Chain A
């Protein structure tokens, strides 16, 4: 689904990301871990053509991401609060995303009923604009909005951060269901090794912009990663 070819990103001569080759097959649940500054968000921003690669390129479904916009209809993402429109209510925001992805209001309403548990009664009909929601609740809205319209590639940056423990469990459930769908390729980054391992069937660790681990998750994965990051 996604292929990385000699991808490099440098700012003022300092290389922050350098991935010679990486392939993410369709239906994979891909976890990206690494310390601050390892290049996780840079990689995701490149995947969404929000920044320009210094060299190399990424293809998604054989579409060169930095040359064509053809990847947009089947890709969705939630990186940070810049993906939210602060002056909308959550409902309006969901309908807006729905409109852009060809779903009408009724479709979106039906879609949202699946996530009532996840919202925990704190999102819908609360008479609040997104800008007035807590960070955690904003995140819930952003994550669910990224799932609207059956995207084939879903990119979530740090989805577990700021969420309360209950919601973390519920999110893991949601992500695992998506991971089981062979049509959906899901990319998740996190600082939390345990969470990432639970929802991903493959883990890539970045360090200073380079891929330092690339493992299929197994019972051993957590220990292996912990040993790596503790060193």
Chain B
């Protein structure tokens, strides 16, 4: 039976949209994956020696921060790792034993990317430990213990699935402990590191994570076994809907109508919520550049690059998929009496509002100096004046249907990657970077930001022209777009 399951999985894999289709892009994807694997491996092998600079015992440091690593992993999983419950449905009425189905489902989660990707770090790190004359047996016990914890996360994610409130709780815990530790109020790791390091230091500590893992495994098995019905364990979560009228938007006419829908779109769909999360992540991206944390980032050209991203997170992640956000009901949009102009400007306003909000939130960069925040404001003006148009223009060429219900593909998709969008994307960062360098070096200190701001303001002048261009593209590509939105997955 298992062999048949595996055959099915294999077919699902080789026929998935990620592998079929454009060969060149598949190669790119594979290269991208290899790149990340290489980075993890480099951290695994090199992390030890990097840490030697600050400590004599790298394992102690890694154990100290292991708590954060694991909680972050759980948060990441709660957010992204989906359970394969849907795929089980067709098996239910077939003459297959319940226990086989459950074992298969659980086995499938064990093989998930969310588990084995950690090995790229853990395995080389342990190997280096042994090579650097840590006790081999103890190092292997440590490795086993941590791996058991990672698999515990796997089961916890299944058992806690679909409880969005938990996501918030864990994120709050993570940030809370992090802040307390950063301001030296309370250092939770002094307590937990004893335990994580104990995995190495003692022979018996490893029993705890292994027992926890087995217990969670049994619990998960029982949970699945008992809930293998369409209306219990396999049901899709339904949230209680609330009608929201946003009547204050009525005064903006059709623009308001679209804005209302876009706000609901963002608030009520997993996929679009990720864009909001990404924009928060981008907000902090600048910390790498502006705090002097990394020496190689400490030059004004790269800082301008970061300034664009700090305020542009939402603009880029949301804007690049206009109109694909509406792909699920594009035939409705195309047969209703819709003015493209209003439709586009609603999306434009949305990314502008997102950019403005990010700019306000980014005001904490003031802490690092006025010049930094002025740079960020310059980036925001450029984003609103120029990049908002470019990003919508690029989106018009992207015909990827978006599955709003899943947060997959949030990090790019093969069809979202084509030469046209690449060409449109380049000036988004390169132009402000060059302007900044020219202004700063040829005219004077503040002139870098001023030139970028001027370019941003100049961008407004082209708004109508760009909107007409986008409108033309939408019209010219209408049938092709409708056709590709029909090809789900």
Chain A residues engaging chain B, CB cutoff 8 angstroms: 48-52, 72-73, 75-77, 79-80, 82-89, 91-92, 95-97, 99-101, 105, 126-129, 131-132
Contact = CB atoms under 8 A, between A and B. Distances in A.
Contact of A132 (B238, B260, B336, B486): B238
Interface stretch (B28-36, B154-162, B324-332, B458-466): B324-332
B337 A92 contact: no
Nearest to A48: B335
B329 A82 contact: yes
Contacts of A91: 243
Contact of A50 (B240, B329, B331, B404): B331
Interface stretch (B103-111, B134-142, B262-270, B367-375): B262-270
B185 interface: no
Contacts of A132: 238, 241
B100 interface: no
A132 B242 CA distance: 13
Contact of B332 (A52, A83, A95, A127): A83
Given A50-B334, A86-B328, A89-B243, A99 B254 contact: yes
Given A79-B331, A97-B336, A100-B338, A127 B264 contact: no
A125 B334 CA distance: 28
Interface residues of B, number: 34
A174 to B, nearest CB: 21
B21 to A, nearest CB: 19
Contacts of B269: 87
A87 B238 contact: no
Q: 9 closest A-B pairs (Cβ-Cβ)?
A: A99-B257, A87-B268, A83-B332, A72-B337, A48-B335, A82-B331, A129-B241, A132-B238, A89-B243
Given A87-B269, A87-B404, A132-B241, A96 B335 contact: no
B479 interface: yes
A84 B243 contact: no
Nearest to B327: A82
Interface of B: 238-245, 247, 254, 257, 260-261, 264-265, 268-269, 328-332, 334-338, 404-405, 478-479, 482-483, 486
Contacts of A76: 335-336
Contacts of B335: 48-50, 72, 75-77, 83
Contacts of A89: 241-243
Nearest to A85: B329
Contacts of B245: 92, 95, 105
Contacts of B328: 82, 85-86
Contact of B257 (A52, A80, A86, A100): A100
A48 B338 CA distance: 13
Contacts of A128: 238, 240-241
B390 to A, nearest CB: 27
B339 to A, nearest CB: 9
Given A49-B478, A83-B332, A127-B240, 6 more contacts: A72-B338, A89-B243, A92-B245, A92-B264, A96-B257, A100-B338
A127 B241 contact: yes
Nearest to B265: A87
A84 B326 CA distance: 11
A82 B479 contact: no
A103 to B, nearest CB: 11
A100 B401 CA distance: 24
18 contacts: A48-B334, A48-B335, A49-B335, A50-B334, A72-B338, A73-B337, A76-B335, A82-B486, A84-B329, A84-B332, A86-B329, A89-B243, A92-B243, A105-B245, A127-B241, A128-B238, A128-B241, A129-B241
Contacts of A72: 335-338
